[in-house]
Amino acid sequence: MNQHRHFIIHKPLKYLSQFVNNQTKRKNKPLLGTLHDFPEGTMAIGRLDANSEGLLLLTTDGKVSEQVRSRKVEKEYYIQVDGIVTNEAISQLENGVEISVNKKKYTTLPSKVKRLDPAPTFESRTKKIRGEHHGPTSWLSIIITEGKFRQVRKMSAKVDFPTLRLIRVRIGHIQLDSLKAGEVQEVDDFGF
């Protein structure tokens, strides 16, 4: 019987959450496969867009992928937003906001949102977000159980606090912890 393999990775900024580049317009973007010698058939469980960072689970087992992507598993993101976020905006995010998914209106499920003060400390980005002269920023923790395309970014923009930096820090019980950008850790299983 073929044994499946599982990996935890800290996806760096600008990397695509894929292994094969089949689109010529993306040929200059780095792919996850360049970070480690992954076995054939490895797939990302969910995705993070090129401008997002953080925890990503990889597996050769499609059944595990379906389990993790289900609404039973929480996904937590730390986001840096433009401006000092208001209690009203936090309340709107918690209750669900209307975003566009595949050009159709969609109301997000309720989420858990809290202000992060003091701000979390992460490695500096290779590309600076913006200068401090553009005004203040704030950090939030957002916990969701769904994962629509660019959902967290769309949610924060909807309440007028656009996301400047997004880092996924948790999937279920698995934490990003001290894993550095680009680091890969193989595990026996994810425990889901």
Residue 110 pLDDT more than 80?
Answer: yes
Quick count: other Cβ atoms within 10 Å of Cβ 75?
23
Whole-model pTM? 0.91
Give the domain extent around 158: 75-171
Helical (H) or strand (E) element with 66: helix 62-69
Q: Determine, yes or no, domain membership for 142.
A: yes
Cα 26 from Cα 29, distance rounded (Å): 6
- 92 and 166 in a single domain? The answer is yes
User: Any idea what the CATH number is for the domain that residue 102 is in?
Assistant: 3.30.70.1560
Question: What pLDDT score was predicted for residue 1?
Answer: 46
| Helix, strand counts (H, E) of the chain | 3, 11
Q: How confident is the model at residue 68 (pLDDT cuts 50, 70, 90)?
A: confident
- 43 and 97 in a single domain? The answer is no
Q: Are 159 and 76 in contact (CB under 8 A)?
A: no
From 37, 49, 117, 188, active-site residue? 49
- 109 and 141 in a single domain? The answer is yes
Q: 24 or 182, which is more confident?
A: 182
Q: How confident is the model at residue 69 (pLDDT cuts 50, 70, 90)?
A: confident
Q: Determine, yes or no, domain membership for 93.
A: yes
What's the number of domains the chain is made of? Answer: 2
User: Any idea what the CATH number is for the domain that residue 55 is in?
Assistant: 3.30.70.580
Helix (H, G, I), strand (E, B) or coil at 115: strand
DSSP H helices in the chain? 62-69, 87-95, 151-158
Cα 19 from Cα 154, distance rounded (Å): 26
- 101 and 158 in a single domain? The answer is yes
Residue 90 pLDDT more than 60?
Answer: yes
177 is catalytic: no
- 162 and 181 in a single domain? The answer is no
From 117, 166, 111, select the one nearest 138 (Cα to Cα): 117
Q: How confident is the model at residue 133 (pLDDT cuts 50, 70, 90)?
A: low
Q: Determine, yes or no, domain membership for 1.
A: no
Encoded tokens for 173? 């019980």
Could you tell me the CA-to-CA distances from 135 to 52, 86, 130 in Å, in that order?
Answer: 22, 15, 10
Cα 156 from Cα 178, distance rounded (Å): 26
Residue 7's DSSP bridge partners are: 58, 186
